[in-house]
Amino acid sequence: MARDYYGLLGVSTKATDQEIKRAYRKLARELHPDVNPDEAAQARFKDISTAYEVLSDPEKRRIVDLGGDPLSQGGGGGAGFGGAGFGGGLGDVFEAFFGGGGQTSRGPRGRVQPGADSLLRTKLTLEECATGVTKHITVDTAILCDACTGSGTNGDSKPVTCETCRGAGEVQSVQRSFLGQVMTSRPCPTCRGAGETIPDPCHKCGGDGRVRARRDIAVKVPVGVSGGMRIRLAAQGEVGPGGGHAGDLYVEIIEQQHDVFVRDGDDLHCTVRVPMVDAALGTTVTVNTIIDGPTEITVPPGTQPGKVESVRGHGMPKLRSGVRGDLHAHLEVVVPSRLDSKQAAALSAFKDLRDKDQAEVVTTASQHNGGLFSRLRDAFSGR
């Protein structure tokens, strides 16, 4: 009769390859001879190892699913730990305890490697962000060695196979553990995993294929950028080892604070101080904007402190769009703190004409928009 390989691992006949592998690893941790010296456990360990060998092989599993036993057809059944029929089980036993393969070879990584990306920061004024600008920046990166054009060799010399690892790019060592002798691999210290060395390296780059250099780059900053944005310059970063393809250069924008305007996305805000009389009678104020030059802001008669007057389309341009934000002027009414005799007399005469104007304490229900209690109420209600 065919053996129940699925039953030995405790999985169903529809189990996936990953489920079979997980079941085997779990049992291997419990039954391995170095962990469980019991003879029954050792016998069962051989059984689950054989079951895993069969079910991890697609052709052998197909035979099992058809009702046959692949090991009874010359497959060398009953292979134990380290036996000829164990297949790739040793690596999975190692992985069950250590989480990684024991003898998996990665091979040489090669001398030529891609370069890393670079990041620089540049400061822009609000005017430069609004109109766009070409900035000339100095970068210090690895560039292709012009003496060897990236080969790393001197003259007509060539790289040779590493004598330490024989071109494998890694060396192996044997360590003793409760599993017995375990072979591990690490990058070759002589060639650093490249698999080859350069006996006659380039005199300028020392065999690296690249040298550090300082160079100037023109960066075209588009209209409408803002602080924190990054401009990508393809293949302007670090050249890789062995003359590998250069990475990208990213230029991060730092937007400097403006003396007059505060930016909020695509909108601009400024504060305009209006004398008390002009606020009462109405006036116009000229604001020297960034793009449009002098622009008039209308202060209507009876303007109250804190009122905001907006001019549409006079803000910052949106990135990659012809649309512009708005300009918002926050009006601050200035009350004179000192009056001469003529000014005081004039205001007294004005007061006599406004005999109905009296100082009073009002209820919250009678507050107009912008009053103290109204602003507090809006702040706490999240308006």
Residue 188 among known ligand-binding residues: yes
CA–centroid distance for 246 within its chain: 19
Backbone angles phi, psi at 19, to 5 degrees: -65, -40
DSSP secondary structure string for all residues of 179-228: TEEEEEEEE-TTTTTSSEE-SSB-TTTTTSSEEEEEEEEEEEEPTT--TT
CA–centroid distance for 341 within its chain: 68
Residue 129 among known ligand-binding residues: no
For the chain, how far is it from start to end, CA to CA, in angstroms? 80
Per-residue pLDDT at 181? 63
Per-residue pLDDT at 244? 92
User: Could you tell me the domains of the chain?
Assistant: 5-98 (1.10.287.110), 114-150+207-256 (2.60.260.20), 258-335 (2.60.260.20), 346-383 (no CATH)
Query: Which tokens belong to 78?
Result: 């009953």
Per-residue pLDDT at 1? 53
Amino acid at 307: K
Per-residue pLDDT at 365? 61
Residue 202 among known ligand-binding residues: yes
Say how far apart CA 210 and CA 160 lie, in whole Å.
19
Query: pLDDT tens track of the chain, all 383 residues?
Result: 567 888 889 988 888 988 999 899 888 888 887 777 788 888 888 888 988 988 988 888 888 888 778 876 444 444 333 333 344 444 555 555 544 444 445 668 888 989 999 999 999 999 999 999 999 999 999 999 999 999 999 999 999 999 999 998 888 877 766 555 666 778 899 998 899 999 999 999 999 999 999 999 999 999 999 999 999 999 999 999 999 999 999 999 999 999 999 999 999 999 999 999 999 999 999 999 999 999 999 999 999 999 999 999 999 999 988 899 999 999 999 999 999 999 999 999 988 888 777 788 877 665 555 544 454 445 444 44
Say how far apart CA 205 and CA 201 lie, in whole Å.
8
Query: Which tokens belong to 109?
Result: 């990584």
pTM: 0.63
Residue 270 among known ligand-binding residues: no
108 class by beta-carbon count within 10 Å (0-12 exposed, 13-18 middle, 19+ buried): buried
Contact status, residue 217 vs residue 232, Cβ threshold 8 Å: no
Say how far apart CA 339 and CA 3 lie, in whole Å.
110
Please report how the helices 58-65 and 39-55 are oriented relative to each other, as an axis angle in degrees rounded to 10. Answer: 100
Contact status, residue 268 vs residue 311, Cβ threshold 8 Å: no
Strand 180-187 to 230-233 pairing: unpaired
Q: State whether residue 27 is helix, strand or coil.
A: helix
Q: State whether residue 85 is helix, strand or coil.
A: helix
SS3 content of the chain, % helix, strand, coil (to 5): 25, 30, 45
